[in-house]
Amino acid sequence: KAGVTQTPRYLIKTRGQQVTLSCSPISGHRSVSWYQQTPGQGLQFLFEYFSETQRNKGNFPGRFSGRQFSNSRSEMNVSTLELGDSALYLCASSIEGIGGYTFGSGTRLTVV
Amino acid sequence: AQSVTQLDSQVPVFEEAPVELRCNYSSSVSVYLFWYVQYPNQGLQLLLKYLSGSTLVKGINGFEAEFNKSQTSFHLRKPSVHISDTAEYFCAVIEAGEYGNKLVFGAGTILRVKS
């Protein structure tokens, strides 16, 4: 059974650019969540998508957005990148809610 | 809102010694708790979870945790660690919202196993 796949693994972008990250969940999982991990702030929840609808959102500016497709694959987009957006972005999928979340290997974004 | 406190930022221990990584959570009616491990440049791997039932939970790689409602704790233990257990460990709790759930993580504990 394939795990959660995140692409790309590494990205280097320039301030002011935008970036799109991709996440393919485990087959049959309809919930996809995104988290940002930084040394200073730790692991913070960005948003969750379920059946193509954003169901929950963390405290991040509007520059951070996402979407989910009918096959449950999800993308997150960050516009007008800032140096502080440099982080490991992790995607997690679950069947529904509380049972448990499976994480991907993450995308390491560096903004220069 | 839920919160999680991991009481130690780093825990050094010698190989084959026992270890306990401490985690306290904010009290709630229903609590769902998790421990994840993260190796360098990797994502999070689930070690174990408590959803209900027995308060002693066994996980992968010989780890176990005990849910203590009166102490609001969920400490992770291993009786004998290996060099390969060196990693960062995160305790997490589900925060249930009106429209969906999310994981709230502690700050993490770096376990350093020395030979």
Can you say whether residue B50 is alpha, beta or left, with left for phi > 0 and alpha for psi between -120 and 50 degrees? beta
Contact residues, A window 85-104, toward B, CB-based 8 Å cutoff = 90, 92, 97-104
Those residues with Cβ within 8 angstroms of residue A61's Cβ, 6 or more apart along the chain or in another chain: none
CA distance B8 to chain A (A): 15
**Residues in A touching B90 (Cβ below 8 Å):** 43
Digitized pLDDT (tens) for each residue of chain A, 112 residues in all: 679 999 999 999 999 999 999 999 999 999 999 999 999 999 999 999 999 999 889 999 999 999 999 999 999 999 999 999 999 999 999 987 666 899 999 999 999 9
**Chain segment A20-46, per-residue pLDDT in tens:** 999 999 999 999 999 999 999 999 999
Q: Name A103's bridge partners.
A: A92
Torsion sign across C-alpha atoms B97, A90, A66, A82: positive
**Chain segment B29-68, per-residue pLDDT in tens:** 778 999 999 999 899 999 999 998 899 999 999 999 999 9
Q: In the prediction, which pLDDT does A32 show?
A: 95
Cα distance between residue A87 and residue A67, in whole Å: 20
CA distance B103 to chain A (A): 7
